[in-house]
C-alpha cells in the first residue's frame, strides 16, 4: 500500500503513442517529443528513456535545467531547449549539448561567445513568430539575418527555423494555415542560402490534423501522453492514456440526513448514505473546483466528490448500503472495472484543458513507472462518449 496517493505512468502506453504518431510521418520527418514541465506532470525521468526507446529523433524541453537532467539519462539523443534562456542558463544548455532557440541578435552573440569558451558547437533554431504573439521575431528579414549569423560563426550551427501554432486544435483552420504558409514561404527563401536548414511547426494537433504542417520535424506534446489535443477521446486517435491517479479509502462513515462533509458544509446528505474520506486533495493537484462536481472510481463504480476539496482530503458519497471498505483503491484518473475517467473529463467541470490536469499533479504525489500498456488492447467502448 502506498502512503497517500500515487500516479502510475504506463511506459508501454507512452512508447505505443510515440510509435503511433511516428507512423503518421513521411520518411525523413523527425519525431521530437516534448517533455517540458516534468513531462506534462508524468515525471521526465520515467519518460525520457521510454520516448528514446520508441524512436524519438530528438527530445524537446522548455528549460536548460530540464535538458541537463535528461542528458544524464540519455547521453546520445539530440536535445532541444525551446524556451527563453537567461544568460546564466546558456552555460547549462551548452553543457547538456542541447540545441537552443534564438530570436534576438544579442542572445546569438552571447551564445556564440559562451560556445566558443566551452569549445563546442551549438545548434540554433531561429524562432519565427508567425502569429502566436509570444517568443520569436515577427520580422522575416531578421529571421534570415539571424540565420546568416548562426551559419557564419564557427561555434554555432544553423539547425532550423521554426514557429508555434496558436490555433491548431480549433475547427477553423484559417489561422493555422496562415501560420504554416508563412513558415513555408520564409523557409523557401532560407533554403536558397542554407539548403540543409530544417523547418518545424507542428504540435500534437498539427501533427494529427494537418500533414502539410509536418515539414522536417514535429513536436508532439500532449498526444504522446495519450491525451487528446482536441479535448475529446484519445482513443479516437489510437492513443492510450499514460497517467493514472490513485488514492485509497481511509474512512467510511454512516451519514444520516442533514449531516455534512467538508469545509463550509457545501454538501449535506439528503438521505441516509455512507461517505468515504480519501487522503488526496488540492495539495496533491485535485483542484478545488471539483468540489461537488468531480467523480472518483471505487470498486469499479463512479461516486461523486461530495463536499469541498480540501488540501489533503476529499469525500465521496458511496450511497446507502455500500460495501466499500477502508483500504479500497480509489481512481481519480484512469480505469477501474468497466469505468474510465479521462483527464479530458476531469477538465470539463474545471473549464480547463487536459494539459493542466496532469501538469497540476503536485510533486508530493510519487510517479511510479510501469509497463502496463505494452500489450494492452484498446479500452472497451473507446471512441464513443
- Confirm whether 355 is a catalytic residue: no
Q: Which of 22, 36, 127, 198 is catalytic?
A: 36
- Confirm whether 127 is a catalytic residue: no
As a whole number of angstroms, the distance between CA 100 and CA 198 comes to 14
The CB-side HSE value for 287 (13 A sphere, CA atoms) comes to 20
As a whole number of angstroms, the distance between CA 338 and CA 346 comes to 18
Q: Which of 2, 253, 263, 376 is catalytic?
A: 263
As a whole number of angstroms, the distance between CA 318 and CA 182 comes to 55
The two beta strands, 295-298 and 329-336, are antiparallel
Buried b (16+ CB within 10 A) or exposed e, 247-263: bbbeebeebeeeebbbe
Q: Which residue has the cell 547538456?
A: 96
**DSSP assignments along 301-334, one per residue:** EEEEB-S---SS-EEEE--TT----TT-EEEEEE
**DSSP assignments along 167-188, one per residue:** STTSS--HHHHHHHHHHHHHHH
Residue (of 177, 173, 171, 179) closest to 230 by Cα position: 171
* Rounded to 5°, angle at Cα 336 from 335 and 342: 25
All three cell numbers of 58, joined, read 530528438
Helix 64-71 / helix 44-53 crossing angle, nearest 10 deg: 60
All three cell numbers of 241, joined, read 492514456
End-to-end CA distance of the chain: 33
* Rounded to 5°, angle at Cα 12 from 32 and 346: 80
Residue (of 341, 77, 368) closest to 227 by Cα position: 341
As a whole number of angstroms, the distance between CA 200 and CA 222 comes to 17
**Residues recognised as catalytic:** 36, 263
Amino acid at each position: 500500500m502506498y502512503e497517500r496517493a500515487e500516479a502510475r505512468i504506463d511506459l508501454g502506453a507512452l512508447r505505443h503513442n510515440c510509435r503511433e504518431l511516428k507512423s503518421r510521418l513521411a520518411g525523413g520527418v523527425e519525431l521530437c517529443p516534448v517533455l517540458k514541465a516534468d513531462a506534462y506532470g508524468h515525471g521526465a525521468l520515467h519518460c525520457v528513456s521510454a520516448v528514446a526507446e520508441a524512436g524519438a529523433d530528438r527530445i524537446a524541453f522548455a528549460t536548460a535545467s530540464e535538458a541537463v537532467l535528461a542528458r544524464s539519462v540519455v547521453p546520445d539523443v539530440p536535445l532541444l531547449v525551446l524556451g527563453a534562456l537567461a544568460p546564466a542558463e546558456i552555460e547549462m544548455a551548452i553543457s547538456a549539448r542541447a540545441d537552443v532557440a534564438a530570436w534576438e541578435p544579442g542572445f546569438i552573440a552571447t551564445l556564440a561567445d559562451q560556445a566558443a569558451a566551452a569549445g563546442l558547437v551549438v545548434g540554433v533554431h531561429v524562432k519565427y513568430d508567425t502569429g502566436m504573439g509570444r517568443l520569436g521575431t515577427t520580422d522575416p528579414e531578421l529571421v534570415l539575418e539571424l540565420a546568416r549569423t548562426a551559419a557564419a560563426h564557427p561555434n554555432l550551427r544553423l539547425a532550423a527555423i521554426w514557429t508555434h501554432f496558436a490555433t491548431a486544435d480549433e475547427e477553423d483552420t484559417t489561422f493555422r494555415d496562415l501560420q504554416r504558409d508563412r513558415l513555408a514561404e520564409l523557409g523557401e527563401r532560407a533554403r536558397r542560402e542554407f539548403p540543409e536548414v530544417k523547418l518545424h511547426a507542428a504540435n500534437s494537433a498539427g501533427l494529427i490534423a494537418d500533414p502539410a504542417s509536418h515539414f522536417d520535424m514535429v513536436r508532439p506534446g500532449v498526444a504522446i501522453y495519450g491525451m487528446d489535443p482536441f479535448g475529446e477521446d484519445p482513443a479516437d486517435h489510437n492513443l492510450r492514456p499514460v497517467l493514472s491517479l490513485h488514492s485509497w479509502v481511509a474512512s467510511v462513515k454512516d451519514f444520516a440526513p442533514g449531516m455534512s462533509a467538508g469545509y463550509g458544509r457545501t454538501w449535506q446528505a439528503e438521505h441516509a448514505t455512507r461517505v468515504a474520506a480519501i487522503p488526496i486533495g488540492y495539495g496533491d493537484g485535485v483542484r478545488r473546483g471539483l468540489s461537488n462536481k468531480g467523480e472518483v472510481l471505487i470498486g469499479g463504480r463512479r461516486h461523486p466528490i461530495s463536499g469541498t476539496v480540501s488540501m489533503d482530503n476529499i469525500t465521496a458519497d458511496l450511497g446507502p448500503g455500500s460495501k466499500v471498505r477502508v483500504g479500497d483503491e480509489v481512481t481519480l484518473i484512469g480505469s477501474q472495472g468497466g469505468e474510465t475517467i479521462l483527464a479530458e473529463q476531469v477538465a470539463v467541470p474545471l473549464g480547463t484543458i487536459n494539459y493542466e490536469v496532469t501538469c497540476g499533479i503536485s510533486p508530493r504525489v510519487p510517479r511510479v513507472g510501469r509497463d502496463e500498456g505494452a500489450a494492452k488492447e484498446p479500452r472497451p467502448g473507446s471512441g464513443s462518449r
